[in-house]
Structures are given as C-alpha cells and as structure tokens.
C-alpha cells in the first residue's frame, strides 16, 4: 500500500493600498495571489503529474490616468512538493491578468495601455511561445482525435527590433503553433504601402481571426478578416489559408486584392 503523503499547507497574502498624493492624485496598489491545480497530462510533464500553480498579480494605477503598471507572475511545482521550495519555473511579464488554456498554455493579457495583446507560454516549462494582438484561437486539426493547435496574429510595433518587419509593405505575421513549438509563421504583405499601414494599424483597422470547418472536407481553414475603420474609406476583406498535414497550406491561400502571404522565419 502506498504510504500517505503528509499534508501541505501554504498561505500567501493579498494586499490593497489606497493613497492620496500632495497634488490630490489618488493611487491604488493591489497584490492578488491565487492558487490553482492543473489536470494531468500537462505537455512536457509526466502523464500522471499535476501542477500546483501560484499566480501573483501586482498593479498600481493613478485613478483617472490612462494605463497602469502591472505584472503577472506564475510559479509552478509538481503537486505534492512543498511550495516553500524552489519552483519548477517562475515567469514574470508586464500584464493585467493570466489564465491557463487547455491545460497546455498560460496566456497573459499584456495590454496595459490602449492596445490589447497577449503572450502565450508553455504551462509545463514556462517557456515563451508567441505574442499575438488577437485572442489566441485554439482548435483541433482532427475529427478522430484531439490534436490541438493554436493561432495568433502579430502586428509589428514601430519599435520592433527586426528590421524586416519595418518594411513599408508589411501588414502582419500569422502564427500557427502546437502546445510546445511554433510550427509555421506567415508574413502578410500588401503592394500598396499606404494600405499596408492602415491594415497593420492598431487604431485604424479591426481584425478577427477564426477557424472554419466544412463537414465535407477534412481540413480546417484559417480566416483572417480585416476592415478599415471610419473615417478612412471602407476597405475590408478575408484572407483564408487551409490547414493541411499539420501546416499552413500557403500555396492554396485565398487572398484579397494586392495582398500576399509567404512563409517567414525569425
């Protein structure tokens, strides 16, 4: 008979602080700590293992001002190990909140100013997978078994370090990933630099990312819809890319006029 493990207990303090400065400005500081236990079969960990996850969110904001300072920290231990010991990993990133997705990823909401974006990490190791400016979309590529893949869309910021993404014709980078690696990235470009600037703008265009299924076809299709916002002239379209053999079938992509898509590597 397996010997019963001794009970484990741990406590973490959540705090709230409200202050008023000499100039009358009011500031709020919050520290929230939550615990969560994963399911078994976390990718990259032993099949029967569960993880104890401790999420700490620290935030500070001046009421009435735009934006705030905030960080999300995730610590992980095999369930049953004393959380006073060194964790398997600790990841920390600027962000407002974080959540476990499909028992495989930890996704942090990074948008602290006016632009929403997210970062996806491996739940089993804490390793960064990709960033996306649309919510992470997960889907299974098979009807027979659950083979989950994830897609995101990166809109290169003006201060990107990759000079290739500073080219005037660049629109976005489409990301196709499993729970442990980025399988394919595709660079979307436009022949018209002015249109490209509108389509990649955080404020001037709206984008949605979805997965289409056809009961008569085994493949899924990724659909990227974009539309230019008022007061710019109306401009919208759909970019569709089939998913075949666990990859993006760029050769059979359906593209709006003057847009191109090509395999891309960092």
Model confidence over 208-230: pLDDT tens digits?
999 998 777 778 999 999 999 99
Residues 256-260, mean pLDDT to the nearest whole number:
95
Terminal-residue alpha carbon distance, the chain: 52
Contact 235, 195 (CB under 8 A): yes
How many whole angstroms separate alpha carbon 100 and alpha carbon 30?
22
- Sorted by sequence, the CB contacts under 8 Å of residue 260 that are 6+ apart come out as 188, 189, 190, 191
Closest to 189 in 3D by CA, of 234, 250, 129: 250
Same domain, 265 and 182: yes
How many whole angstroms separate alpha carbon 94 and alpha carbon 170?
26
What pairs with residue 116 in β-bridges? none
Tokens encoding 15: 């705090």
Give tens-digit pLDDT for 14-39.
999 999 988 888 999 999 999 999 99
Query: Is 123 part of any domain?
Result: no
Contact 128, 98 (CB under 8 A): no
Same domain, 138 and 262: yes
Query: Is 165 part of any domain?
Result: yes
Residues 91-115, mean pLDDT to the nearest whole number:
94
Query: Is 24 part of any domain?
Result: yes
Same domain, 70 and 154: no
Same domain, 167 and 266: yes
Q: What is the reported pLDDT for 16?
A: 95
Contact 247, 174 (CB under 8 A): no
Q: What is the reported pLDDT for 4?
A: 62
How many whole angstroms separate alpha carbon 142 and alpha carbon 51?
28
Same domain, 92 and 214: no
Query: Is 125 part of any domain?
Result: no
What pairs with residue 97 in β-bridges? 109
Q: What is the reported pLDDT for 3?
A: 59
Q: What is the reported pLDDT for 7?
A: 78
Q: What average pLDDT is seen over the chain?
A: 93
Instruction: Indicate the number of domains in the chain.
Output: 2
Helix (H, G, I), strand (E, B) or coil at 133: coil
Same domain, 137 and 98: no
Instruction: List alpha helices for the chain, DSSP H.
Output: 193-200
Strand order through the sheet with 137-140: 137-140, 148-154, 170-177, 182-190, 259-264
C-alpha dist (Å) from residue 154 to 63, 68, 136, 148, 210: 31, 23, 11, 20, 15
**Domain coverage including residue 58:** 7-102
In the listed set 102, 122, 152, which residue is the last one of a domain according to the structure?
102
In the listed set 80, 102, 124, which residue is the last one of a domain according to the structure?
102
Same domain, 141 and 261: yes
Residue with tokens 């236990």: 37
Give tens-digit pLDDT for 47-75.
999 999 999 999 999 998 877 899 999 99
């Amino acid at each position: 008979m397996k010997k019963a493990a001794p009970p484990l207990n741990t406590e973490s303090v959540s705090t709230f602080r409200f202050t008023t400065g000499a100039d009358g400005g009011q500031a709020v500081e919050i520290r929230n700590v939550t615990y969560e236990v994963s399911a078994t079969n976390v990718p990259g960990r032993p099949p029967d293992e569960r993880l104890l996850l401790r999420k700490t969110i620290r935030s500070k904001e001046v009421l009435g001002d735009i934006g705030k300072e905030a960080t999300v920290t995730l610590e992980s231990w095999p369930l049953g190990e004393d959380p006073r010991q060194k964790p398997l990993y600790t990841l920390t990133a600027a962000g407002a909140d974080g959540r476990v997705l499909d028992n495989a990823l930890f996704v942090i909401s990074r948008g602290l100013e006016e632009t929403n974006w997210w970062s996806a990490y491996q739940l089993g190791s804490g390793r960064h997978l990709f960033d996306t400016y649309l919510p992470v979309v997960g889907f299974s590529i098979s009807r027979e078994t659950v083979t989950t893949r994830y897609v995101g869309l990166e809109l290169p910021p003006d201060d990107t370090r990759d000079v290739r993404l500073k080219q005037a014709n660049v629109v976005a980078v489409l990301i196709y990933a499993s729970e442990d690696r980025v399988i394919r990235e595709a660079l979307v470009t436009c022949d018209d630099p002015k249109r490209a600037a509108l389509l990649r703008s955080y404020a001037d265009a709206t984008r949605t990312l979805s997965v289409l299924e056809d009961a008569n076809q085994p493949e899924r299709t990724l659909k990227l819809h974009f539309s230019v916002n008022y007061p710019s002239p109306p401009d919208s379209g759909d970019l569709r890319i089939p998913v075949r053999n666990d990859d993006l079938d760029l050769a059979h992509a359906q593209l709006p006029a003057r847009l191109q898509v090509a395999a891309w590597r960092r």
